[in-house]
Amino acid sequence: MPIISSSYTQAPLFYLNGHFETIIPSIWRKIEGVSYEREKIDTPDGDFLNLDWSRVEGERLLIVSHGLEGDSQRHYARALVKLFNQQGIDVLVWNNRSCGGELNLQPVLYHHGSSQDLDTVVQHVLSSTRYSELFLAGISMGGAQTLNYLGKKGENVSSILKKAAVYSTPVHLPSSAATLRRPINRFYNQKFLGKLKKKMEAKGKQYPGLIDLERLPDVRDFDEFDTHYTAKLHGFADAADFYEQASPHTHLKGIQVPTLILNAINDPLLGKECYPTEFAQSSTKIFLEMPKRGGHTGFTILGSEFNYAEKRLLEFLTQV
């Protein structure tokens, strides 16, 4: 499939680079007028997931997977809810384990490869509702979970799951992780690590002796954190093993539904391998769009409540 030419060409003038395009919306953007109805469901391993629904009595449903240390209240999730609801489409935003305001029960958390939890959500929807069409959307880490889910399911995906779309997604997790080692990206490193360390501390107190809490305050980078905590909790050998096994790039060939990957070239958190141009050119299912601007989950349109990525996902998922 040819690479898609993007119509997003001009970010606001005062967004000087990808960092401005990433950070400003993350801090200041607000989406009003969204309310949820929460449902708690069980997982096969004795844990739970919190699902936040926004129903408009539609016949179609969008399932949204959020980013690292995000939840259903993040601006990008609420914006998709509001935009798709306006088109008569129900939306379900699921919160990863430990996200959404409640610590989970099992001695695990979540990560980019946690496609089994997305599968639990999809299976719950299929067994308890009667939608005619189902769509998947993922943002950043949630995009990786979505691609992993689709790639692993392959031809076994439900026939009512028609399309998927992800954006700002680390398609190749090792190269994305490498960007966080750059001195210029120290802000993102510390932002995410601070949140994850607090959550890991809570998990360590929930399960005394599970992890080394004495080491935790001295952890300064993701390689150390993922080796001693993420990998230890989730059965990987170390950070490098986690990045490779949880990365979507090895599962792209299994995807059997039309899927849009929208990644900005100036995204400060994506390495060059996160733009699978060669694969997309030979694929009949992967549509790759790479605007020059947009940052990471930015894509701001001046004067618009919704950003380019949200509008583009709506267009791609609903077009015949």
Kindly state whether residues 212 and 268 are assigned to the same domain. Answer: no
Distance of alpha carbon 35 from alpha carbon 208, whole angstroms: 37
Output the average pLDDT for the chain: 96
Asked if residue 27 belongs to a domain, the reply is yes
Asked if residue 50 belongs to a domain, the reply is yes
Kindly state whether residues 265 and 168 are assigned to the same domain. Answer: yes
Using the 8-state DSSP alphabet, how is residue 102 labeled?
-
Radius of gyration of the chain (CA): 19
Domain end (from 192, 213, 246): 246
How does DSSP assign 231-247, residue by residue? HHHHT-SSHHHHHHHH-
Kindly state whether residues 290 and 270 are assigned to the same domain. Answer: yes
Domain end (from 246, 265, 298): 246
Q: In the chain, what are the helix, strand and coil shares in percent, each to the nearest 5?
A: 40, 15, 45
Count the domains in the chain: 2
Kindly state whether residues 34 and 138 are assigned to the same domain. Answer: yes
Domain end (from 200, 224, 246): 246
How many C-alpha atoms does 64 have within 13 Å on its Cβ side?
Answer: 31
Kindly state whether residues 214 and 268 are assigned to the same domain. Answer: no
Distance of alpha carbon 52 from alpha carbon 77, whole angstroms: 11
Asked if residue 9 belongs to a domain, the reply is no
Kindly state whether residues 275 and 145 are assigned to the same domain. Answer: yes
Find the DSSP H helices in the chain: 18-28, 75-86, 115-128, 141-153, 173-179, 186-206, 222-225, 231-234, 239-246, 277-282, 308-318
Range of the domain at 225: 174-246
pLDDT tens column, 249-307 = 999 999 999 999 999 999 999 999 999 999 999 999 999 999 999 999 999 999 999 99
The whole-model pTM stands at: 0.96
pLDDT at 126 over 80: yes
Kindly state whether residues 115 and 95 are assigned to the same domain. Answer: yes
Please state the rounded mean pLDDT for residues 94-100: 97
Asked if residue 24 belongs to a domain, the reply is yes
Asked if residue 59 belongs to a domain, the reply is yes
pLDDT tens column, 179-228 = 999 999 989 988 999 999 999 999 999 999 999 999 999 999 999 999 99
Kindly state whether residues 121 and 107 are assigned to the same domain. Answer: yes
Kindly state whether residues 70 and 217 are assigned to the same domain. Answer: no
Instruction: Name, in order, each residue with C-beta under 8 angstroms of 119's C-beta and a sequence gap of 6 or more.
Output: 149, 153
Kindly state whether residues 78 and 160 are assigned to the same domain. Answer: yes
Residue identified by tokens 């392959």 is: 154
Kindly state whether residues 166 and 44 are assigned to the same domain. Answer: yes
Whether 90 and 61 have beta carbons less than 8 Å apart is answered as yes
- CA distance to 64, 119, 170, 283, per residue, from 1 (Å): 25, 27, 20, 5
What pLDDT is attached to residue 1?
A: 58
In this structure, what CATH number is given to the domain that contains residue 156? 3.40.50.1820
Asked if residue 29 belongs to a domain, the reply is yes
Kindly state whether residues 229 and 299 are assigned to the same domain. Answer: no
Instruction: Name, in order, each residue with C-beta under 8 angstroms of 317's C-beta and a sequence gap of 6 or more.
Output: 62, 135, 137, 162, 163, 164, 165, 260
Q: How confident is the model at residue 34 (pLDDT cuts 50, 70, 90)?
A: very high
